[in-house]
C-alpha cells in the first residue's frame, strides 16, 4: 500500500513531485531530548536496538516534531556482525567495539551465515510495529552497512583512524578478503530482503568507510560487493517498487560506477556539488543529499541560505531527495533542523518546483 505521503518513493524513482522530499540521516538520535530519555530507560544502546517497542518509539519521535517525508527504522549498521557471534558492545565516547574481532583465517572461515528471521528478528519486528504505527503516513526506510564497512569493524575490533588491519588483509590476502566480503554480501542481502518483507518501503546501504580505499581497491573490495547486494534484492513488495539507495561516503570520484550497480539513488556527501554529481550520472539515478551537517550548527540565516543553495545546485526536474551529506550530529539544536525542513518546503515548493518535470 502506498503511503499517503509518497514523495520520497516518487523522488527516488525519478518521478515528478510538487516539492523536494526531505529526511535526515540519524534523524532519530542524541540531538533529541526525547531520544535521550528513552535511551536512558533502555539501559544501553544495544538494549534499545533490541527492544522493538522502544526502537519503534524513537523511530517515530522525529516525525512528531518535524514535517519529514520518511521514517528510518532505528537500529545499527553492526547488527549483522553481532549476529555472527562477534560480541558487539558500545563504549561511551569511543563507539562500537567487538569482543571477538577477526584476527585469523580460521576466524573468517568459521563465520556463520545468520538466520535473519530468528537472530535479527528484533529488527524486523520493529519494522512491522513501526509500519503499523505509521498507519500509511510516510514511507519507512530500512538499512544495512555495506560489506566493506562491516568488515572494517569486524577486523579492527571497532572504529579506526588508519584501518591498518583491514587494509593489510586486502593487500596480503586478497582471496581471504574476498571470501569474507562475499559472506557479508550474502548476509546483507538476506537482511535487507527480510526488512523489505517486514515492511521497509525503501532501503539504504551505508558504505561509511568506502572513502578510505584507493580507486582500485574501492572498486574491487567495496563497490563490487555492494553491486552484488543490489543484484540480490527484492525490488518489489506487495505490488510496489522498493527503491534502493547507495550511500558511499567519501567516494564521489566513483559516482558513475556506483550508478552502474543498478541502484535507484545515490547518496552524495558534501565534498561535491549536486550540480556536478548530476552532470556525471545524468538521469540514470536519483540523488540524495547533500548539505554539510555542520551547517546546522550555524544561525538561521546561514541554514536558510545553504539549504537554498543546495536545492539550487540540483536544479529543476525530478530525482532529488534532500538530506545531509552524513548524519546529524548530537550537538545540533533541534530547532535548527526545523528551520532546514521549513526552508526545503518553502523554496522547493515555490514557482518551478525542483521536483517537477522541466517545462
CA distance 26 to 332: 12
Q: CA angle 148-154-158, nearest 5°? A: 105
For residue 208, say whether it is annotated as part of any ligand binding site: yes
- The pLDDT assigned to 350 comes to 72
**Are residues 200 and 242 in contact, defined by beta-carbon separation less than 8 angstroms?**
yes
- The pLDDT assigned to 90 comes to 87
CA distance 255 to 277: 7
pLDDT tens digit at each of 359 positions of the chain: 789 999 999 999 999 999 999 999 999 999 999 999 999 999 999 999 999 999 999 999 999 999 999 999 999 999 999 999 999 988 877 789 999 999 999 999 999 999 999 999 999 999 999 999 999 999 999 999 999 999 999 999 998 999 999 999 999 999 999 999 999 999 999 999 999 999 999 999 999 999 999 999 999 999 999 999 999 999 999 999 999 999 999 999 999 999 999 999 999 999 999 999 999 999 999 999 999 999 999 999 999 999 999 999 999 999 999 999 999 999 999 999 999 999 999 999 874 333 333 22
Burial 278-309 (b: 16+ CB within 10 A, else e): beebeebbbbbbbbbbebbeeeeeebbebbee
CA distance 25 to 27: 5
Among all chains, which residue has been given the C-alpha cell 586478497? 174
The model carries a pTM of 0.95
Instruction: List, by residue number, the catalytic residues.
Output: 26, 30, 39, 76, 153
**Are residues 145 and 78 in contact, defined by beta-carbon separation less than 8 angstroms?**
yes
For residue 165, say whether it is annotated as part of any ligand binding site: no
* Burial class of residue 333 (count of CB atoms within 10 Å of its CB; 0-12, 13-18, 19+): exposed
**Are residues 261 and 226 in contact, defined by beta-carbon separation less than 8 angstroms?**
yes
For residue 28, say whether it is annotated as part of any ligand binding site: yes
CA distance 278 to 267: 12
For residue 186, say whether it is annotated as part of any ligand binding site: no
* Strands (DSSP E) found in 261-333: 265-267, 286-291, 320-324
- The pLDDT assigned to 94 comes to 76
Q: How far is CA 246 from CA 7, 9, 259, in A?
A: 19, 15, 9
Q: Which residues lie closer than 8 Å to 165 by C-beta, 6 or more apart?
A: 155, 156
> How is the chain split into domains, by residue range?
7-348
CA dihedral 301, 302, 305, 306 (to 10 degrees): -160
For residue 219, say whether it is annotated as part of any ligand binding site: no
Return the CATH fold of 7-348: TIM Barrel (3.20.20)
For residue 336, say whether it is annotated as part of any ligand binding site: no
Amino acid at each position: 500500500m502506498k503511503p499517503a505521503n509518497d514523495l520520497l518513493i516518487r523522488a527516488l524513482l525519478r518521478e515528478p513531485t510538487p516539492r523536494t522530499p526531505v529526511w535526515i540521516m540519524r534523524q532519530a538520535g542524541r540531538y533529541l531530548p526525547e531520544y535521550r530519555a528513552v535511551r536512558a530507560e533502555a539501559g544501553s544502546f544495544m538494549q534499545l536496538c533490541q527492544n522493538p517497542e522502544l526502537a519503534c518509539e524513537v523511530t517515530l519521535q522525529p516525525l512528531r516534531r518535524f514535517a519529514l517525508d520518511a521514517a528510518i527504522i532505528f537500529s545499527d549498521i553492526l547488527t549483522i556482525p553481532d549476529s555472527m557471534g562477534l560480541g558487539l558492545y558500545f563504549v561511551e565516547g569511543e563507539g562500537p567495539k567487538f569482543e571477538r574481532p577477526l584476527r585469523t583465517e580460521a576466524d573468517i572461515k568459521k563465520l556463520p551465515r545468520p538466520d535473519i528471521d530468528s537472530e535479527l528478528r528484533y529488527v524486523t519486528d520493529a519494522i512491522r510495529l513501526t509500519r503499523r504505527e505509521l498507519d500509511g503516513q510516510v514511507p519507512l526506510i530500512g538499512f544495512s552497512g555495506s560489506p566493506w564497512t562491516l568488515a572494517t569493524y569486524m577486523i579492527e575490533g571497532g572504529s579506526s583512524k588508519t584501518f591498518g588491519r583491514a587494509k593489510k588483509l586486502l593487500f596480503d590476502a586478497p582471496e581471504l578478503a574476498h571470501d569474507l566480503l562475499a559472506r557479508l554480501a550474502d548476509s546483507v542481502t538476506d537482511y535487507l530482503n527480510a526488512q523489505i518483507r517486514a515492511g521497509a518501503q525503501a532501503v539504504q546501504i551505508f558504505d561509511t568507510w568506502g572513502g578510505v580505499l584507493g580507486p582500485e581497491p574501492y572498486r574491487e573490495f567495496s563497490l563490487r560487493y555492494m553491486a552484488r547486494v543490489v543484484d540480490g534484492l527484492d525490488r518489489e513488495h506487495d505490488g510496489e517498487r522498493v527503491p534502493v539507495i547507495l550511500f558511499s561516503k567519501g567516494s564521489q570520484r566513483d559516482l558513475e560506477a556506483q550508478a552502474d550497480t543498478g541502484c535507484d539513488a545515490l547518496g552524495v556527501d558534501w565534498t561535491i556539488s549536486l550540480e556536478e554529481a548530476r552532470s556525471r550520472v545524468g538521469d540514470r539515478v536519483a540523488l540524495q543529499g547533500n548539505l554539510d551537517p555542520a551547517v546546522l550548527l550555524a544561525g538561521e540565516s546561514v541554514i536558510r541560505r545553504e539549504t537554498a543553495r543546495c536545492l539550487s545546485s540540483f536544479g529543476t526536474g525530478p530525482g532529488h531527495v534532500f538530506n545531509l551529506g552524513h548524519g546529524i550530529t548530537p550537538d545540533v539544536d533541534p530547532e535548527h533542523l526545523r528551520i532546514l525542513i521549513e526552508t526545503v518546503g518553502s523554496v522547493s515548493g515555490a514557482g518551478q518546483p525542483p521536483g517537477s518535470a522541466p517545462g
